[in-house]
Structure 1
Amino acid sequence: MSDQFVLETRGLVKEFKGFVAVDDVNLKIQDGHIHALIGPNGAGKTTVFNLLTKFLTPTRGQILFRGDDITAMKSAAIARKGVVRSFQISAVFPHMTALENIRVALQSFEGTSFSFWKSGTSLNKLNDRCMELLDSVGLAEFANTTTVELAYGRKRALELATTLAMEPKLLLLDEPTQGMGGEDVDRVVELVKKAAEGRTVLMVEHNLSVVSRLCDRITVLAQGSVLTEGDYQSVSADPRVREVYMGTANDKAAKAQTTATQETVE
């Protein structure tokens, strides 16, 4: 039965003027799992995320959340049901403190974001929850630090905290470790583990080491379609997955070699 899955897609298709970016994708995300969506560049991962959060409208197919068809819903309504994409509201305000950023997110979630006539003092009741969220991502000591002064990894942690303020039931993480060095990656891995407590996570991630450390189940996309699915051990051993990734790497190497040869000739 579909209601045993937090999220399910059935025959999901997205076409752009004849180009099929997502082709008959069927996902089943189990309650309490951290589920990864991986694949080479151009595989359709971000397009799938945009379909799930209604930044894009499917050409065909269905999206179900806890058995309810949400295909026709708008992104705000989906977020209110508990399907929240990290960094969707995250554009953190650089000249506000970390605590003020969380408070804005909480006001947005509570529907009081336009109550600008209220005094700052009346909003202090939110501060305890703000501090809980900041503490959950290791930023309690930076509560009064202006966001622009935070290191990159800590800004990403603040973005995650603003997302958790929306109280997601299904948290969608789009490349949470992108652009990070080793120490920041380790920090984010631990943050994702904490964020996953009591909720389900679907993540797009390019770093396979991160996927191996975090994910219960992995879906591999290639050219818009599901290539295979399983745990990390079975997926990483699949020769088709190796071919897709190694083929991509070899294509890049060949292109670089061709460019270098052309420059030498010129």
Structure 2
Amino acid sequence: MGGADTGQGPGAPADYILETRGLTREFGGFMAVRDVDLRVRRHTIHALIGPNGAGKTTVFNLLTKFLTPSGGTISYNGRDVTTVGPAAMARLGMVRSFQISSVFANLTVIENVRVALQQKLGTSLHFWRPKRSLYSLHARADELIEWVGLETYRDVLAGDLSYGRRRALEFATTLALEPELLLLDEPMAGLGHEDIARIADLIRRVSQGRTVLMVEHNLDVVSNLSDRITVLTRGSILAEGGYAEVSQNPAVREAYIGGAHA
């Protein structure tokens, strides 16, 4: 892991795939997010953490365009995308996993991945095409299924998979969209110990050649996966750095006292 060498020196604009400046969101007089300046370095795993109610989900919803900022700007690959919609952002390569993934319980694993590949090709609505016209997608679908470790479940209905394996399938359908920046919203939620290890390994593999920004409650996962961590509290950035640095920060430790890890 670690930031890619762009040849422009540390901190050069091209090093950062996603940046916000003064990002703010107000709900009826309540400032849920206040002046957040976030910079996500290309080809890293960046975690967004904080106590419950810190504003993490609101920031994620602003970044993925499910909410409109009250103020501030969002830049992606050096382009101002503050007013760009979620579908357009996905086409630009920024995809929010587990919300946008196409996983249908009544379709098999291979059929789910094939639908996602059709979306990428812009043919997802061509239902009148003969079934044989979709066979050209099978090789890539099988490759993705094998990549997430579901090759023995290729013809199993998604609804019959365990929760952890459905998460793995969601990774496959997300990767079918070929994201450059993958945003993961609590990827370990509801998983058992064995599934957490499996999904953590997938996140490591996904990050090779991509950038990952994730909100995660499991601090063991955060400590093992993340290159950089941003800590939010009361809608503002409290601290940033590596896990060793932020975990020893007195203000961060105080923010977590008496509250659940988030």
- Report the TM-score, using the length of structure 1 for normalisation: 0.92
The correspondence for 1:229, drawn from 232, 240, 243, is 240
Question: What is the RMSD computed on CA atoms of the aligned residues?
Answer: 1.2
* Amino acid paired to 1:229: E
Report the CA distance between 1:242 and its aligned residue: 1.3
Matched, 1:17 2:5: no
Distance across 2 between alignment mates of 1:147 and 1:128? 19
Aligned to 2:165: 154
**Within 5 A, what are the aligned runs for 1:70-85?**
70-85=81-96
Aligned to 1:54: 65
SS in 2 for 1:90: coil
Which structure has the larger Rg?
A: 1
Report the CA distance between 1:136 and its aligned residue: 1.2
SS in 2 for 1:85: strand
Among the aligned pairs, what percent are the same residue?
Answer: 58
Structure 2 gap segments, 5+ residues each? 1-11
The correspondence for 2:258, drawn from 247, 258, 261, is 247
Aligned to 1:104: 115
Is the alpha carbon distance of 1:36 and 1:249 closer, same or farther for their aligned partners in structure 2, counting shifts above 3 Å?
Answer: closer
Distance across 2 between alignment mates of 1:24 and 1:136? 40
Q: Deviations over 1:93-143 (max 9, x none)?
A: 101001100111111111101100111111010011101111111111111
The correspondence for 2:208, drawn from 182, 197, 203, is 197
Aligned to 1:213: 224
The correspondence for 1:166, drawn from 170, 177, 197, is 177
Q: Deviations over 1:43-78 (max 9, x none)?
A: 111111111110000010000011100001011111
Distance across 1 between alignment mates of 2:172 and 2:102? 12
> Are the counterparts in 1 of residues 52 and 260 from structure 2 also a CA contact under 8 Å?
no
Report the CA distance between 1:227 and its aligned residue: 0.4
Is the alpha carbon distance of 1:7 and 1:249 closer, same or farther for their aligned partners in structure 2, counting shifts above 3 Å?
Answer: closer
* Amino acid paired to 1:114: L
Report the CA distance between 1:87 and its aligned residue: 1.4
- Report the TM-score, using the length of structure 2 for normalisation: 0.93
> Are the counterparts in 2 of residues 12 and 23 from structure 1 also a CA contact under 8 Å?
yes
Distance across 1 between alignment mates of 2:117 and 2:197? 27
Report the CA distance between 1:244 and its aligned residue: 1.3
> Are the counterparts in 1 of residues 23 and 71 from structure 2 also a CA contact under 8 Å?
yes
Distance across 1 between alignment mates of 2:260 and 2:128? 56
The correspondence for 1:178, drawn from 180, 186, 189, is 189
Matched, 1:95 2:106: yes
* Amino acid paired to 2:147: S
SS in 2 for 1:13: strand
SS in 1 for 2:135: helix
Report the CA distance between 1:91 and its aligned residue: 4.9
SS in 1 for 2:199: helix
Is the alpha carbon distance of 1:60 and 1:103 closer, same or farther for their aligned partners in structure 2, counting shifts above 3 Å?
Answer: same
Q: Deviations over 1:6-31 (max 9, x none)?
A: 00000000011111111111111001
The correspondence for 2:79, drawn from 52, 68, 86, is 68
Aligned to 1:257: none
Report the CA distance between 1:247 and its aligned residue: 2.9
Q: Which has the higher helix share?
A: 1
Structure 1 gap segments, 5+ residues each? 251-266
